[in-house]
């Protein structure tokens, strides 16, 4: 067919006229074919079969026009004789988006008198604007015409918009006298579907029947900011956006000064408390209380509430409560400890690597140089433990001994996600470190630290006899001098831990004796050599 012939020839040149393709056949008048009718309208009559000896001739185009804007097939088209604006719109597929009426702009080159040219003629571009029902739709097109269909304006002239921390951002039809309270339904407007999905996911059915697990009591519910919302309004006279803040709580109560009247095109924005930093009194704080209290659980607290306040709300202490052993953990303290552990690990690693490198350079024997390898592995193990440690974030309360009671709690203001654990009173003391028998001993009201160490078998050979370390049940740590310790009447509290450290700085006597023996031996050889030399001279 003609189409096959055009494709075999590589298609028409851009300046070729696809609307007047001539099929020349011997003994017949030329047949004019409009390829647009075939391609755009599917007319098979415009694609006849070829015969041997046929000639396809594509003349130069008579002209072009363009259709742009809100049409279905914007493009540059070949101009056909007698073509109207309506024909061009049909060829471009008509107006897109179901637009019933549209403003059509026709730009056309015309000959005329240009201003400031002393009456000389020249081409000028003129503009005509009309709608689809205008008589101009029947006007003939000319070469170089440009048809522009203006797109639909995105402006909503009869609607108001709701967005922000709401269940569903929507546009709603505006009605005369409409107010903020008419746009918002307090029972359904403020909780987003994603919030319910998140909260439902925390209590999935697959978790039923499992053993106890850590409870995530962090509250991230996006609370609505009831004290502040905003109305956005565009002022066309100034071409500027205006902002009208209002109190959302009072607006929903239809307070006249806050329940603003809406105009078409307005936007109401609802914020959450997380959008702006709120006063301390507005934050929701949750504290976990467990252990020896009558009603363990999660308790919301107000700004300034203390340990005594929240323990009172938990029903008070039981008869077995051990106030001195209270474990008070704080999230901010845990984050600080994690940062300090990381810095300590980096510092230890750098210092020991520098120390081992310096010792290797100053080594006087192969044995001394080879000692660095196992030490380096030990340092790497220590550093890895520090980096993977999970600190508790415990805050020491500095309570006065095992007899501390409820009133001895410090007046410490609580923070969000604080955790208070009150254990039962233990009856043991733990001894660890460089003693012959590490373990747990029964607590005695009159026994001193020295007594517990002696009952653990006493000090080992490599124990650091300069002092011990005592970890109190209240989270404090003390370093006690041994000479003062054994002569004192100091006693421990239930739950305390005594650690006897090893003296890691001391050298083995064997190695020390060997080193000095080598020195004296070398001095003896030197003295003998000098004596022989003096005799021979």
81-92, pLDDT tens digit by residue? 888 999 999 888
Residue 10 has a CB neighbour count (10 Å cut-off) of: 7
Q: What is the Cα–Cα distance from 183 to 264, expressed in whole angstroms?
A: 13
Q: pLDDT at residue 98 above 90?
A: no
Q: Which two tokens stand for residue 6?
A: 């055009």
- Higher pLDDT: 211 or 39? It is 39
Q: pLDDT at residue 369 above 60?
A: no
Rama region for 13: left / alpha / beta (φ>0; ψ in -120 to 50; rest):
beta
Q: What is the Cα–Cα distance from 19 to 167, expressed in whole angstroms?
A: 57
Question: What is the three-class DSSP state of 440?
Answer: strand
Q: Label residue 169 by pLDDT band (50, 70, 90).
A: confident
Q: Label residue 76 by pLDDT band (50, 70, 90).
A: very high
Q: What is the pLDDT of residue 505?
A: 58
Q: pLDDT at residue 481 above 50?
A: yes
| 231, 267 Cβ separation under 8 angstroms | yes
Q: Label residue 523 by pLDDT band (50, 70, 90).
A: low
Q: pLDDT at residue 163 above 80?
A: yes
- Higher pLDDT: 480 or 376? It is 480
Q: What is the Cα–Cα distance from 80 to 65, expressed in whole angstroms?
A: 10
Cα angle 389, 394, 399 (rounded to 5 degrees) comes to 145
Q: What is the Cα–Cα distance from 56 to 25, expressed in whole angstroms?
A: 9
- Higher pLDDT: 210 or 93? It is 93
Q: What is the pLDDT of residue 10?
A: 87
Q: What is the pLDDT of residue 536?
A: 55
Residues 424-451 have a mean pLDDT of 88
242-289, pLDDT tens digit by residue? 999 999 999 999 999 999 999 998 999 998 887 877 676 667 788 999
Question: What is the three-class DSSP state of 165?
Answer: coil
Q: Label residue 471 by pLDDT band (50, 70, 90).
A: confident
| Mean pLDDT, the chain, whole residue set | 79
Q: What is the pLDDT of residue 115?
A: 45
Residues 416-439 have a mean pLDDT of 90
pTM value > 0.75: no
């Amino acid at each position: 067919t003609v189409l096959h012939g055009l494709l075999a020839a590589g298609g028409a040149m851009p300046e070729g006229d696809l609307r007047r393709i001539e099929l020349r056949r011997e003994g017949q008048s030329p047949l004019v074919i409009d390829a647009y009718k075939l391609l755009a309208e599917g007319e098979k009559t415009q694609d006849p079969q070829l015969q041997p000896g046929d000639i396809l001739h594509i003349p130069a185009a008579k002209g072009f026009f363009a259709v742009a804007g809100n049409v279905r097939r914007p493009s540059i088209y070949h101009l056909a004789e007698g073509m109207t604006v309506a024909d061009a719109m049909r060829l471009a597929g008509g107006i897109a988006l179901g637009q019933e009426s549209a403003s059509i702009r026709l730009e056309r080159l015309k000959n005329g008198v240009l201003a400031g040219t002393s009456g000389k003629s020249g081409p000028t571009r003129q503009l005509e604007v009309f709608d689809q029902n205008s008589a101009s739709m029947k006007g003939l097109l000319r070469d170089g015409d440009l048809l522009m269909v203006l797109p639909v304006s995105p402006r909503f002239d009869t609607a108001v918009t709701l967005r922000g921390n709401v269940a569903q951002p929507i546009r709603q039809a505006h009605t005369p006298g409409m107010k903020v309270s008419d746009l918002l339904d307090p029972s359904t407007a403020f909780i987003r579907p994603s919030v319910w999905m998140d909260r439902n996911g925390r209590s999935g059915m697959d978790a039923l029947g499992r053993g106890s697990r850590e409870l995530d009591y962090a509250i991230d519910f996006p609370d609505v900011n009831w004290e502040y919302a905003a109305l956005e309004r565009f002022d066309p006279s100034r071409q500027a956006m205006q902002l009208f803040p209002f109190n959302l709580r009072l607006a929903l109560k239809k307070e006249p000064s806050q329940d603003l009247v809406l105009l078409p095109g307005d936007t109401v924005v609802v914020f959450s408390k997380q959008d702006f930093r709120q006063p301390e009194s507005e934050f929701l704080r949750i504290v976990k209380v467990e252990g020896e209290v009558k009603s363990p659980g999660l308790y919301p607290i107000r700004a300034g509430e203390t340990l005594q306040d929240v323990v009172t709300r938990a029903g008070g202490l039981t008869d077995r409560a051990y106030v001195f052993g209270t474990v008070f953990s704080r999230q901010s303290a845990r984050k600080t400890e994690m940062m300090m552990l990381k810095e300590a690990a980096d510092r230890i690693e750098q210092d020991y690597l520098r120390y081992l490198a310096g010792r290797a350079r100053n080594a006087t024997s192969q044995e001394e140089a080879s000692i660095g390898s196992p030490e380096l592995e030990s340092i790497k193990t220590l550093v890895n433990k520090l980096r993977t440690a999970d600190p508790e974030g415990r805050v020491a309360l500095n309570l006065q001994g095992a007899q501390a009671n409820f009133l001895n709690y410090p007046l410490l203001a609580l923070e969000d996600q604080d955790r208070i654990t009150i254990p039962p009173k233990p009856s043991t003391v733990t001894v660890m470190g460089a003693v012959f028998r590490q373990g747990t001993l029964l607590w005695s009201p009159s026994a001193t630290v020295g007594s517990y160490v002696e009952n653990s078998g006493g000090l080992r050979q490599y124990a650091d006899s300069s002092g011990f370390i005592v970890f109190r049940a209240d989270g404090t740590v003390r370093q006690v001098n041994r000479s003062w310790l054994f002569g004192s009447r100091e006693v421990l509290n239930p739950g305390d831990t005594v650690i006897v450290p090893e003296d890691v700085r001391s050298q083995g006597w064997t190695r020390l004796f060997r080193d000095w023996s080598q020195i004296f031996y070398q001095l003896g050889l030197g003295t003998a050599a000098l004596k022989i030399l003096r005799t021979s001279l």
